[in-house]
Structure 1
Amino acid sequence: MVGREESGATYPQIGVTEPHHPLSHHRDNPEKIAKLARINAYHMQLFSEFLVKLRSTPDGDGSLLDHVMLMYGSALRNSNRHTTEDLPILIAGGGCGQIRGGRHVVNPQGTPLTDLQYSMLLKLGVPVESFSGSTDAIHELSGLA
């Protein structure tokens, strides 16, 4: 798990010299929002490059990307307000045939992120009765096959 948004990291390589976390509390300042957007785009670029490396790395009868299950996103929709509903989450990888990709899935209002994480654990064969209070698997809603 990587959580850069709580760090004091700066990104001079993309022209952002202010620390990440204070920028996330942007108070609707357009300049700070633009810098935060640059950071988010940069992180997405790095994640994309990581996926390409996984896809190009042979692993058994496929690639590493075929055999992993990755979740990318944020625990907050609006970092300034700390809102947690309607999170933009990306699931990548084939999960050894457990994930059906190429879809955009919208879960019902109020579905906790932990339902998705619980579903992922089940797809990975982890024998759990619950995850952080969630016991509702959302296989077909979450984009998991």
Structure 2
Amino acid sequence: MNSFQYPMETILNYRKEKEEIVKQQFSQIQKQYFLEEKFLKNLEEKLENVIKAYLHGEKRLIDSIELKNIQQYINFLRKKIDVQKQIVVKIQEKLEQKHQQVLFAQRDRKIIEKHKEKALEKYKLELNYQEQKIIDELALYTCRKNKWMI
């Protein structure tokens, strides 16, 4: 009997490749998510620092133009933070979708791998059966040959 050849090997390889591609895409989105999250945290820190500097800063007189500039900068940072939060939420949704795709790809691959394992087990059982059949025939042949010799 020939060595075991799984008839669906090309499908298994395709599913493994598909899983790897989806994992790479997930990894890219995850990197993007971390970068956008870091940018959001930086904006929030800037806002916090500006507010702290304004409230707890020097006790000097601030003219109305400088006060207006500070207020405009604070409003700018708040708007930027809101936009960045929306970006982070969208990327987080993409990340979750891609995570689901990774899980589906893994499930599909595992189904074929289990099928391959069962097919291999069936092949081994058939091989053992064939070997046992040959051994039994040889034993029977030897037994008959010995009876004729006596």
Q: Same fold (TM over 0.5)?
A: no
What is the TM-score when the length of structure 1 is the normalising length? Answer: 0.27
Higher Cα radius of gyration: 2
Bigger share in strand? 1
What is the TM-score when the length of structure 2 is the normalising length? Answer: 0.26
Higher relative contact order (CA 8 A, sep 6+): 2
